[in-house]
Structure 1
Amino acid sequence: MKKQVAVLVTDFVEDVEYTDPVTAIEDAGHEVTSIGFEQGTVTGKHGTEITVDKAISDVKPEDFDALFIPGGFSPDQLRADQRFVDFVKYFLAKNKLTASICHGPQLMIQTGLVHGRTMTSYLTVQPDLYYAGARIEDKPVVIDGNLITSREPKDLPVFNDAVVAALG
């Protein structure tokens, strides 16, 4: 069954952490909607132009089956906007599939809902997760129920496989 996957993104996302998982999700037959501050185009850290399908003001989290948060500098910008924090909070509170890589968990920290969860992230984000109450495992992919986290671009193959498997 085709799932609807929301992807939260803005400028300076880590290009490959957006493109590789999105391609894997779409190749598995699911629909991806990229959501940003506004509809249009954003640019990744390495120059990739990414289409933002919808503005955060035009979407509701309940319209999606799963959430993906790529890394880079994008999550740090998004977490300053309560609309994105609330969007992520909905998925975590409802125990809906939430996947994130690298710096993506920064956005999850803002929700206050990582306490007691087992997670991983980019090395420099791991202390933030720890101080927010998460249990850290420094592994390529960590699965805690419907929460899938990963560390960095070299972990993308196992991360993508885990996300696609969880989508069914």
Structure 2
Amino acid sequence: MSKIIAVMANDVEDIEYTSPAKALTDAGNEVTLVGANANEKLTGKHGTEFTTDKGIDDIKADDYDALLIPGGFSPDNLRSDDRFVELAKKFMLTDKAVFSICHGPQLLMQTGLVKGRTLTSYETVQTDLYYAGGIVKDEPVVIDRHLITSRTPDDLDAFNKAIVNELA
């Protein structure tokens, strides 16, 4: 069993958290929802209400095997908080598994570590990734070592399969 941190703020793309989290837990993994504070109520873009399991200050990257960054406007909110940027940076620098979909790579760009990495994202973020030095592909799933990225909710089946296989 692997332990995964899912980071979230308000306005997450609901299904980009719920679908991967279900696929990961159905495969026997443990997903911990982390926000700015423990037991924080967050609302997705489509009205789903979420309650965080832990706050960012309550966790250590070393205790987890993977990082999940769902999209929507959540990653843009998270990247203004240095604690989430540092968490993502730790996962990237230690080459641990990072799963990022849609606008999720906005948080990864903030780490300064996408240069030379091959990845994808929602179409409007792809240009930003390119200017940050990423090698951008417009494909449902892009795998670069332990970094797995995807574009939209339409790609969730392929994304979920790839992230579950990464932890198998």
TM-score interval (norm. to shorter): over 0.9
Q: Quick one: distance in 2 between partners of 1:92 and 1:14? A: 23
Matches within 5 A, 1:118-129: 118-129=118-129
What is the aligned length? Answer: 167
Aligned CA RMSD, in angstroms, stands at 0.5
TM-score by length of 1: 0.98
Structure 1 residues not aligned, in runs of 5+: none
2:82 aligned partner, one-letter code: Q
1:167 & 1:44 partners in 2: Cα distance? 26
Residue 33 of structure 1 deviates from its aligned partner by 0.4
CA shift, 1:39, in A, is 1.4
Indicate yes or no: 2:23 matched with 1:24.
yes
The residue correspondences of 1:36-75 to structure 2 (distance < 5 A) are 36-40=35-39, 41-75=41-75
**Partner of 1:9 in structure 2?**
8
Query: 1:103-155, CA deviations, whole angstroms, 9 ceiling, x for partnerless residues?
Result: 00000000000000000000000011000000000000000000000000000
Residue identity opposite 2:7 in structure 1: L
Structure-2-length-normalised TM-score: 0.98
Structure 2 gap ranges (5+)? none
Q: After the TM superposition, which segments of 4 or more aligned residues of structure 1 sit over 4 Å from their partners?
A: none
| Aligned residues with identical type, % of pairs | 57
What secondary structure sits across from 2:33 in the alignment? strand
